[in-house]
Amino acid sequence: MARRLEGKTFFTNRNNGVTAITSQDYSEETAQLVEQLCVYYDAQGFTAQEQKDAKNAVISVVFFKPVFTFARAERVMNSPWFTGGVMLAQTLKYYIKQEGGIIQEADFYVPFSNGYELGIHGVKALQDELRWITTKMEFEQEFGVSLTSLLKETHKSIPIEGMCE
């Protein structure tokens, strides 16, 4: 029987305690886009913060694959925009490998890791950041398993790598 994710590549990145997983290779595409944006923003005289806010807004619109985010349980309980906790991320990585998928480290934007979703950088930044929220349906479409099923698996004895992350 064929495995659900055979040959499919997923990308992961971490920033400020948030783990992100996606199937779109943001790293190369993001690097090219950001380079072009930097040239434009410099020419326009944008401040460093304006450049960062504008780049994140453009990236959130240009890239169409969902980015699933995971953090410590305490953060997840107070922040409904996360997909789940760190243990769920580890279970998902294990599931991806068991189903024939490949996981690669990549350099891409990690939503909900810089405070934009809290409004500390202004309302516009908050609105742009909240575009990254994912749904249970997107999760199931992306990974071929329901979020509920995978949550049940987190309580079973699955080998967990990086327990002290």
Contacts of 144 by beta carbon, 8 Å cutoff, 6+ apart: 4, 5, 99
Q: Whole domain around residue 90: which residue ranges? A: 9-153
Judged by DSSP in three states, 22 sits in strand
Is 4 domain-assigned?
no
Q: Give all strands of the β-sheet with 9-15 in edge-to-edge order.
A: 84-85, 68-71, 18-22, 9-15, 102-105
Is 99 domain-assigned?
yes
Q: Give the pair of three-digit tokens for residue 11.
A: 């990308």
Give the DSSP letter of residue 144.
Answer: S
Predicted local distance difference test score (pLDDT) of residue 52: 72
Predicted local distance difference test score (pLDDT) of residue 25: 62
Is 165 domain-assigned?
no
Is 3 domain-assigned?
no
Q: Total domain count for the chain?
A: 1
Please, what are the averages of pLDDT over each run of 10 residues along the chain (165 residues)?
80 94 73 77 83 70 80 92 94 94 88 89 87 92 90 63 42
Is 2 domain-assigned?
no
Say what the pTM is. 0.75
